[in-house]
Amino acid sequence: MIPSLREFPFPYHCALAISSDIDNASSHESFIAVMDYLNSESDTVFGAGLGLEVGNSFWFFNSTDNHQLTYFNGLTTQLSVFAPVIQELWESGHMDTLHSWGNFDKGGFTRSLAEQGLNELQKMGAKIPVWINHGVGLNHQKVGDYPNMFGDELSHKAYHLDLAIEAGCEYYWTGKVTHVIGQDSQPTLSVQSKLMIQWLMKRTRYRNVVDPIYDDGNQLFFPIQFRDNTKSWEFIRFMNAWGREQVLDINDLATQLSPGMIDQLIKNRGFMILYTHFNEHVNMDGLPPALIKNLSFLKKKNIEGHVFMATTSRLLKYKEVHNHLIFKVDSNDKETNIYINSILDTPIGAKTLEKGQLSGLTFYVEHPPTTQIWFKDTELESKINPPDETGIPSVMIPWKKLPYPR
């Protein structure tokens, strides 16, 4: 047989990233407590840590009078008390999302503020792969060809996309959501019916809405050409399964992560980036009981090898590499050698691959013990897997969960 790529890292059947916006985080202490509970395997304020891999987002600035967790105080370059937490999670890879340069609900964004943020990232040696638009109206820093979004408009004073790219941003969320449980999934009845409903809603209930809502397809991400002609990836986020608006806070996370939703994601065999604000409305006396129960169910499905979990940026990078990987195979009676090309050929242009970006890739092969995987003339560490539900064995480049620093 000719080696081929398995859709998910062995042994998983679907993939999930929890993508949380930093808006209205309850407190410095609650932010740390929730991240500890989700990521660590130690005792935490909310009980034994789950040991999942969950990232978070941050702001540099805040132009409003409302208290927000930011890197700098207000619109100054004075470090906040929260800055060391952000720095620690930059280094570990868990703080992988720039929720725009700041909260500018009352306006006030300028390119010079973005330059200050970029300077800080460069000083700390940090790269942020994911950009998520924030807010409405006066948040002119948003990117995308929609009303009041000028971050990618070269002629506008709010233009900054070149700086975001220099900061490391590769994947952009302009505002599109979905109610389909799993993207790039199997065409189950659940998936097909939800897509049809969204198609109808976009052309009836939301026909006069000019902001981003739904995409007609069910891809996790797709090419976008910004107004400055830059090409990149745009991705969508899952809101909920039924189509109603929610606050999407820590309480709503319980319904978003219901056992029924998780089981359907496994059945649909899809990828999901779940949209939440799990830092909002956190009570330090305890998390909602329903959330504790549902997160325990999610952890069980992760341990059992059903749900693959990663930060937003790592899930998107895995999917991008998987979709556009170039490799060649050299086989004889004694061995099989898989040679991975160091260049990804994507619709948005060629990208150079790094060794660490190959983690999780799983190749179906006829005889794993005599199969080697090579990258840049070096044999990679690999792991032999037994046959999965297809009856075919595989060999994989091991996936290594991000070490949580706390």
* CATH code assigned at 242: 3.20.20
Q: Tell me whether residue 55 is in a domain.
A: yes
For tokens 């799983």, name the residue. Answer: 362
Q: Tell me whether residue 263 is in a domain.
A: yes
Please say if the pLDDT value at position 243 is more than 80: no
Please say if the pLDDT value at position 247 is more than 90: no
76: helix, coil or strand?
coil
Q: Tell me whether residue 111 is in a domain.
A: yes
Query: Could you tell me the residue range of the domain that residue 182 belongs to?
Result: 11-312
Residues in the chain: 406
Could you give the CA distance from residue 60 to residue 79 in angstroms, rounded to a whole number? Answer: 9
Q: Tell me whether residue 125 is in a domain.
A: yes
Into how many domains does the chain fold? 1
pLDDT tens readout for residues 293-349: 999 999 999 999 999 999 999 999 999 999 999 999 999 989 999 999 999 999 999
338: helix, coil or strand?
strand
How is residue 213 written in tokens? 């809502």
Q: What is the mean pLDDT of the chain?
A: 96
Q: Tell me whether residue 230 is in a domain.
A: yes
Helix 83-92 and helix 28-39, axial crossing angle in degrees, nearest 10: 20
Q: Tell me whether residue 335 is in a domain.
A: no
Between 88-102, 163-177, 208-222, the lowest mean confidence (pLDDT) is in: 208-222
Could you give the CA distance from residue 238 to residue 180 in angstroms, rounded to a whole number? Answer: 7
Q: How far is CA 11 from CA 289, 303, 308, 360, in A?
A: 30, 10, 9, 10
> Rg of the chain over CA atoms, in angstroms?
21
Q: What percent of the chain has pLDDT over 70?
A: 100
Q: Which amino acid is at 238?
A: F
Q: Tell me whether residue 371 is in a domain.
A: no
pLDDT at position 246 is: 79
Q: Tell me whether residue 90 is in a domain.
A: yes
